[in-house]
């Protein structure tokens, strides 16, 4: 039996955001992220799996909302790799170790951490000096992360189901929506996707999941715990 004073460990996982999205989080403009489900479901024949599914549409459709699980057509159970509501994500972002001496310190925790989201022009992009280049976000250690998020909801959708409210929650500026809205030839229902495509394709098209492919995605909603 667990003692009353025993602390329940909350699972914490890393998640990568580019500098634009980090700025959106810091500005309080971003509370959602969409990530491609891998592997993609191979058919529409997905059944509900106990209470893991909350169907929004008819039983004949796959589009539904899940708490944290996806049952693929071939019978395997896939858990959202980012976690479930109540769990946490620590943000990895592009950064730079700065130290005052010629040689790096023995313990890199003694370095100053520069974040590209804050100071994009801090380093010369054309430098040949290996010690003066941005470190990719994937290399950021846990101790250097400054942003921790708490997951508030997880669901499964097709990418094209994104709404105007979702686009805003993804950190898109209203001006991007307005840019398309002023053209009468664009249907209002298409405008959210056209705006979101601007940030989706540069990241995901080269990975084989362009906007046009309308992949299934995890929609992870979150709130900022600390910065």
Q: Is the domain of 120 the same as that of 175?
A: no
Q: Is the domain of 99 the same as that of 116?
A: yes
Q: Is the domain of 125 the same as that of 217?
A: no
Q: Is the domain of 84 the same as that of 187?
A: yes
More confident residue, 51 or 139: 139
pLDDT in tens, 144-199: 999 999 999 988 888 998 988 899 999 987 777 777 666 666 666 667 778 888 88
Q: Is the domain of 159 the same as that of 83?
A: yes
In a domain, 156, yes or no: yes
Domain limit, last residue, from 144, 165, 185: 144
Res 5: pLDDT: 56
For 117, the domain range is 94-144
Res 50: pLDDT: 38
Q: Is the domain of 81 the same as that of 157?
A: yes
pLDDT in tens, 29-80: 999 999 998 877 665 544 444 334 333 333 344 445 454 444 544 444 567 8
Q: Among 13, 17, 143, 168, which Cα is nearest to 84's?
A: 13
Q: Is the domain of 16 the same as that of 80?
A: yes
Q: Is the domain of 155 the same as that of 210?
A: yes
Query: How confident is the prediction for the chain on average, in pLDDT?
Result: 80
Domain limit, last residue, from 103, 128, 144: 144
pLDDT in tens, 85-104: 999 999 999 999 988 777 77
Specify the pTM: 0.78
Mean pLDDT of 9-30: 95
Between CA 122 and CA 134 the distance in angstroms is 9
């Amino acid at each position: 039996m667990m003692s009353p004073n025993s602390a329940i460990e909350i699972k914490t996982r890393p998640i990568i955001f580019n500098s634009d999205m980090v700025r959106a989080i810091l500005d309080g403009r971003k509370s959602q992220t969409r990530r491609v489900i891998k592997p993609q479901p191979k058919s529409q024949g997905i059944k509900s799996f106990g209470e893991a599914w909350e169907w929004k549409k008819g039983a004949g459709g796959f589009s539904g909302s899940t708490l944290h699980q996806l049952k693929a057509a071939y019978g395997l159970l896939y858990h959202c790799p980012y976690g479930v509501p109540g769990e946490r994500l620590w943000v990895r972002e592009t950064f730079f170790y700065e130290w005052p001496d010629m040689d790096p310190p023995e313990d890199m925790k003694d370095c100053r951490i520069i974040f590209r989201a804050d100071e994009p022009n801090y380093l010369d992009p054309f430098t040949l000096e290996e010690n003066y280049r941005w470190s990719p976000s994937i290399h950021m250690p846990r101790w250097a992360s400054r942003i921790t998020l708490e997951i508030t909801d997880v669901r499964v959708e097709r990418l094209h189901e994104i709404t105007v409210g979702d686009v805003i929650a993804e950190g898109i500026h209203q001006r991007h929506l307005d840019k398309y809205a002023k053209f009468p030839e664009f249907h209002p229902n298409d405008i959210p996707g056209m705006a979101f495509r601007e940030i989706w394709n540069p990241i995901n098209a080269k990975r084989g999941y362009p906007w046009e492919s309308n992949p299934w995605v995890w929609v992870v909603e979150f709130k900022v715990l600390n910065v």
